[in-house]
């Protein structure tokens, strides 16, 4: 082994250990350096990172998956999915959103497998994971009955943010049955949180096939003197629906 090879291997080992550092700046610097070394053609980095996504340390698992994603093609693959699912439940919002974005990226290449994982997460016990899974489902525009069922369940979640994520799914879902509109109407009329009611009104404005009941409910909300924010959201929804109607002519 050349002295330079030994030096590179020693540096990589040091950086791999730093993936678990409790300081984000140290962790991020280690990721950036590993990605830079990999870009020079060093295959040891990818091998070590792949081994690290099975580490006993949660921070290492996440950092390794993140680094593999930065390395890109050939490195970032389905073996990172477990670490990403775990990170979507993290207490740190930055980690949750980064993991969510990477899960969407992975899902574009492995839609069937990632869809199944996301639907399981959306029905799981962790509220953060439920919320982030729903946003992934929205962004991947997953088809079939699963997303609608997940959103229907999530609009009754005790966590307001999960309910808002469910409405984000419903606003983009492809549903010819009218079920999505029915669910959103229920949120508009009955949810205990004013923010959720506003989000439901706004979401209805994205549905071309909004029913007569939806139009009536939005018209009523738009004239509600007790909640100007809701009224404004409803008026905006009605304006968008009118534009959609004109565009279809």
How confident is the model at residue 7, as a pLDDT? Answer: 59
Tokens encoding 95: 């980690």
**Residue 155 within any structural domain of the chain:** no
**Residue 130 within any structural domain of the chain:** no
Alpha carbons 168 and 188: distance in angstroms, whole number: 14
**Residue 91 within any structural domain of the chain:** no
CATH number of the domain encompassing residue 33: 1.25.10
| Domain boundary, last residue among 76, 110, 130 | 76
If you search the block for the tokens 């999505």, which residue do you land on?
180
Residue 5 has pLDDT above 60, yes or no: no
Under 8 Å CB-to-CB from 147, ≥6 apart: which residues?
Answer: 119, 137, 169, 173
Kindly report, residue by residue over 71-125, the tens digit of the pLDDT. Answer: 987 899 999 999 999 999 999 999 999 999 999 999 999 999 999 999 999 999 9
Mean model confidence pLDDT for the chain: 93
| Overall number of domains in the chain | 2
How confident is the model at residue 132, as a pLDDT? Answer: 98
Kindly report, residue by residue over 168-197, the tens digit of the pLDDT. Answer: 999 998 887 889 999 999 999 999 999 999
CATH number of the domain encompassing residue 187: 1.25.10.10
**Residue 135 within any structural domain of the chain:** no
**Residue 61 within any structural domain of the chain:** yes
Q: Could you tell me the residue range of the domain that residue 197 belongs to? A: 175-249
Distances (CA, A) of 183 to 20, 180, 200: 43, 5, 9
| Domain boundary, last residue among 53, 76, 99 | 76
């Amino acid at each position: 082994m050349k002295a330079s090879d030994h030096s590179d291997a020693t540096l990589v080992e040091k950086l791999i250990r730093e993936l678990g550092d409790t300081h984000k700046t140290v962790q991020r610097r280690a990721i950036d350096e590993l990605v830079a070394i990999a870009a020079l053609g060093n295959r040891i980095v990818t091998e070590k990172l792949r081994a690290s996504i099975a580490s006993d340390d949660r921070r290492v698992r996440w950092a390794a998956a993140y680094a593999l994603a930065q390395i890109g093609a050939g490195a970032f693959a389905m073996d990172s999915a477990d670490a990403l699912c775990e990170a979507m439940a993290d207490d740190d919002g930055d980690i949750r959103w980064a993991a969510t974005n990477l899960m969407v990226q992975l899902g574009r290449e492995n839609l069937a497998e990632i869809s199944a994982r996301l639907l399981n997460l959306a029905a799981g016990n962790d509220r953060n994971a439920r919320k982030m899974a729903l946003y992934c489902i929205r962004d991947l525009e997953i088809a079939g009955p699963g997303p609608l069922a997940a959103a229907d369940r999530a609009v009754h979640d005790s966590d307001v943010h999960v309910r808002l994520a469910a409405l984000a799914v419903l606003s983009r879902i492809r549903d010819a049955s009218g079920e999505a509109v029915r669910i959103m109407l229920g949120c508009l009329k009955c949810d205990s949180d004013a923010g959720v009611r506003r989000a439901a009104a706004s979401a209805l404005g994205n549905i071309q096939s909004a029913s007569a009941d939806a139009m009536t409910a939005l018209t009523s909300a738009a004239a509600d003197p007790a909640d100007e924010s809701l009224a404004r959201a409803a008026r905006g929804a009605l304006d968008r629906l009118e534009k959609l109607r004109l565009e279809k002519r």
